Amino acid sequence: MIEQLFSAFIVLAILGLIVLSIICLLRSFNMAARSENEKYFQDPITKSRKQFPSLSDSHSKYLSVIIPAYKEVDRLPTMIKDTMSYLEQRQGKDQSFTYELIIVDDGSPDKTSEVALQYSKQYGTDIVRVLTLDVNRGKGGAVRMGVLSARGQWILFADADGATKFSDFTKVENKARDNIKNNNIVVCGSRRHLEQDSVSKRSAFRTLLMYVFHFEVWLFAVKSIRDTQCGFKLFSRESARRIFSQMHVERWAFDVEVLYIAEKLNIPIVEVDVNWQEIPGSKLDPFTASIQMGIDILAIWLRYILGIWTIQRKNE
């Protein structure tokens, strides 16, 4: 009887894995081509439209900050204030420190673009540019479009909620300089040092989801760092060019694919603890996002393992 039950369990488990694999393979990752409208940014003073440069061009700024924004009318101003305070003070001490902000409105139905354009008007379009996407692509799609439009020698993407203090850029930058190899490096801001505290404040169910997610990421994708999801990551221009030109995932699991590609290209990846705090107003439902990201991570792994997606290893 026990042997029969065990055999039935094994059969059901195998069938479950087959069904899950089919679901993952059927998962659509259609990435829309960049529209003609998305190739331009608006100058709110002259009302003219100017074309974004290409990531394949040589850099003309030291730092590009990419800010993906979806319905961020309320949270964006605080983040921009913190960011510009750091950048302006840094440039005041070192005139060679040049920078730009690219705010990517990810098809928001509210006035996110209008709010962002006020900063273009205030600081000028050489400092702040707004990329308004025709439709909602997802955070990964917004980050990718911003990165492909960047002028920086270094490219940082930072979440619009300002959960990470922008002054931590100094730590991330120093870590990048210490570990760069052949112009390639990825530095990830990390909340790993906050994990035990977050466990004590979360429900047992959310804690379980967190540990299952970490294990799945480690098992199927990224093994070099602990926190793949913190929205504060720095790339050398060469690394960004090699990674973001090969992305397929535009929604929440995009961080995992970005780091998976970096590992396969032997690009150094390092982790730096940052000051982070929960900011009210998140658009993310933890349970739904965990299920969706779990499916996406398995789908990413299957597609690369089966050769459906491939990674170009030029300039390795």
Predicted TM-score of the model (pTM): 0.89
Q: What CATH number was assigned to the domain covering residues 39-202+224-278?
A: 3.90.550.10
Asked if 81 and 123 touch (Cβ cutoff 8 Å), the reply is: no
CA atoms in the 13 A half-sphere facing the CB of 154: 22
More confident residue, 276 or 107: 107
Identify the pLDDT of residue 108: 96
The CA-CA-CA angle for residues 255, 82, 60, to 5°, reads 65
DSSP one-letter code for 46: T
Please name the helix (run of DSSP H) or strand (run of DSSP E) that holds residue 235, with its range, or none. strand 232-236
Identify the pLDDT of residue 293: 83
| Residue 17 confidence (pLDDT) above 80 | no
Distance of CA 175 to the CA centre of its chain: 19
Q: Summarize pLDDT for 153-177 with one digit per residue, the tens.
A: 999 999 999 889 999 999 999 999 9
The per-type count for the chain, helices as H runs and strands as E runs, is 10, 9
Domain boundaries, the chain: 39-202+224-278
